[in-house]
Structure 1
Amino acid sequence: MPRPSQRRIDAASAAAERLAASRAPLICPLCERPIPPEAKSSRHHLTPRLKGGTHLGTVQLHQICHSAIHARFSETELASKLNDVEALRADRELAEFIAWVQTKRPDFHAPTRMTRERRASRKPSD
């Protein structure tokens, strides 16, 4: 029986690693909980598309985590100072949300409302 070439062995190993990775649950980089297939999730543009981030990096987040980001911050804030996961996790207000959501099941979802301060800042002056 002929021995397989090193190239074929490497290709088979890479294919096996890709298959294993596809079976592993995704991890939300914000709350660090698994994202099971049945959980609501979405892709977050680290730099908002409206601010030039169409072809820049994205991350897969639980929908509740994604909604929490956009309920708290404007597109300008996200583009200028919160355009990576570490900066988002370091924000005090979002850190409180993360601590709370980490106590929930990985498939937990609830509606997210805009913060009172942000809602008030969007209202036109009388």
Structure 2
Amino acid sequence: MTAQALDTCELCGRSPLATTVHHLIPREKGGSLLPTALLCKACHRQIHALYTNSDLVVLGLTTLDSLRSDPQIASYLRWIMRQAPGSDRSCTNQSAYEANVNLLGSRMKQVLRGE
């Protein structure tokens, strides 16, 4: 097993913590060789919990600035930036937060579809 370097998340700015590579344009949408961002696992997971790869492209969420400007991600960022990197409390609260955001996101999609 290799040690993972500790970095700063390019989305939330927290550090030091382990980061993952996020393709700003999803690989399946032609982004294999295009710019990437180093995101903490929490931010990376939240982006993909909120949006499909198709949603990210259609909604234009393909830059760090556009991600930060998205209302759902902006709300998440306000919360996660107050959490200490790697704290147990952050992980516990994050799960509850993600569940609430997912529920609200699902309801919002239903409203937009007129259901």
- TM-score, normalization by structure 1: 0.64
Partner in structure 2 of residue 49 of structure 1: 27
Deviation string 1:3-35 (CA, Å, 9 cap, x unpaired) is xxxxxxxxxxxxxxxxxxxxxx62211111113
8 Å contact 1:44–1:61 — kept in the other structure?
yes
Identity %, equivalent residues = 31
| Structure 1 residue 83, shift from structure 2 partner | 0.3
Aligned-partner Cα distance in 2 for 1:98–1:44: 16
Partner in structure 1 of residue 102 of structure 2: 115
Moved over 4 A (4+): 111-114, 117-121
| Structure 1 residue 119, shift from structure 2 partner | 5.4
| Structure 1 residue 117, shift from structure 2 partner | 5.4
Aligned-partner Cα distance in 2 for 1:67–1:106: 15
**More helix per residue:** 2
Q: Which has the higher contact order (CA 8 A, sep 6+)?
A: 1
2:70 to 64, 86, 91: 91
* 1:10-89 equivalences in 2 (<5 Å): 26-36=7-17, 39=18, 41-80=19-58, 81-89=60-68
**Higher mean displacement: 72-81 or 82-91:** 72-81
Q: What SS does structure 1 have at the residue aligned with 2:21?
A: strand
| Structure 1 residue 64, shift from structure 2 partner | 0.5
* Aligned residue pair count: 95
Aligned-partner Cα distance in 1 for 2:106–2:28: 20
8 Å contact 1:35–1:62 — kept in the other structure?
no
Unmatched tracts of structure 1, length 5 or more: 1-24, 122-126
Deviation string 1:35-91 (CA, Å, 9 cap, x unpaired) is 33xx4x311100011111111111111100000100111211212300000000001
8 Å contact 1:27–1:34 — kept in the other structure?
yes
Query: If you compute each CA radius of gyration, which structure gives the higher value, 1 or 2?
Result: 1
